[in-house]
Amino acid sequence: MKARVHVMLKDGVLDPQGEAVRHALGSLGFAGVEAVRQGKVIELDLAATDRAAAEAEVRAMCEKLLANTVIEKYTIELA
Q: Going residue by residue through the chain, which has 79 residues, state the pLDDT in tens, using 9 for 90 and above.
A: 999 999 999 999 999 999 999 999 999 999 999 999 999 999 999 999 999 999 999 999 999 999 999 999 999 999 9
Q: Quick one: pLDDT at residue 42?
A: 98
Q: 23: part of which helix (H) or strand (E)?
A: helix 16-27
pTM: 0.89
Q: 42: part of which helix (H) or strand (E)?
A: strand 39-45
Inter-residue contact 67 to 7 (CB < 8 Å): yes
Q: Quick one: pLDDT at residue 75?
A: 98
Q: Quick one: pLDDT at residue 54?
A: 98
Distance of alpha carbon 71 from alpha carbon 6, whole angstroms: 14
Superfamily of domain 2-78: Phosphoribosylformylglycinamidine synthase subunit PurS (3.30.1280.10)
